[in-house]
Structure 1
């Protein structure tokens, strides 16, 4: 299978055992500079939410997913979306784009390849990940379990 199914543990605002603590979503224009904006914003937001130890990993994941949204999921005039959701037990990152027919395909890049490692990076950092097909496009999501309590800022 090319992608993981929707995880039933995904954040549910009505889940009394793991309620959503923070949620944020930003739409970006499908240009390479937007990847930089999304990465920096994610790092600052995750640290602000009290999890500075996860900020770099979250920023790297957003950078990889947003890059793919721009390179492979872009449709003229359509934005890509980055959503961050923090519950008491996990951080969920979701990036959606307009091309549902272009689902992630694992590759084995050679050492000389300049591209094609995003899925390897995401798999190495994520607790869980998957793809959810949408009415228009797709959403690639990644979850990072929280190991510690948030840092008070």
Structure 2
């Protein structure tokens, strides 16, 4: 008798969602970070606001440094369900996938994805028709 694959659970309904496109400029990182912290607090999860803001900052910085193109926007999407907060950052460079690395003590950069991995319950990358989306999820 053949094994049956269990039917995956349907996705949880989205209670809150925010999407905003940013110019590929350094100042966009702090704008996205502050917006995330404010929204997460307004959505009733103030204890997650700091971690969510840091994750947004790191994903935005990576998109800016490694995934941006001069005339293409970077999108930040934040969703809240009954069990998770998901932060997504989409950039136009699908060929440049995120890779955590271990930075030397003297390195100025290279710790962002390690921070994301330490704070998030799950993170990853999804290809898009154009570009990619890097996401992180905080669950409870």
TM-score (norm 2): 0.92
Corresponding residue number in structure 1 for 2:97: 103
**Match for residue 43 of structure 1 among 29, 37, 61:** 37
**Cα RMSD, aligned residues only:** 1.3
Distance (whole Å) between structure 2 residues aligned to residue 49 and residue 132 of structure 1: 26
Corresponding residue number in structure 1 for 2:134: 140
Matched, 1:92 2:90: no
- Where 1:116 maps in the other structure, the secondary structure is coil
Corresponding residue number in structure 2 for 1:128: 122
TM-score (norm 1): 0.84
Structure ID, larger Rg: 2
Segments of structure 1 that go 5 or more residues without pairing to the other structure are: 1-7, 147-153
Matched, 1:71 2:65: yes
Segments of structure 2 that go 5 or more residues without pairing to the other structure are: 1-7
Matched, 1:52 2:46: yes
Structure 1 residue 26: deviation in Å?
A: 0.4
Structure 1: 4+ residue segments shifted above 3 A: none
1:83-115 deviations in whole A, cap 9, x for unaligned? Answer: 000000000000000000110112111111100
Greater RCO, CA 8 A, separation 6+:
1
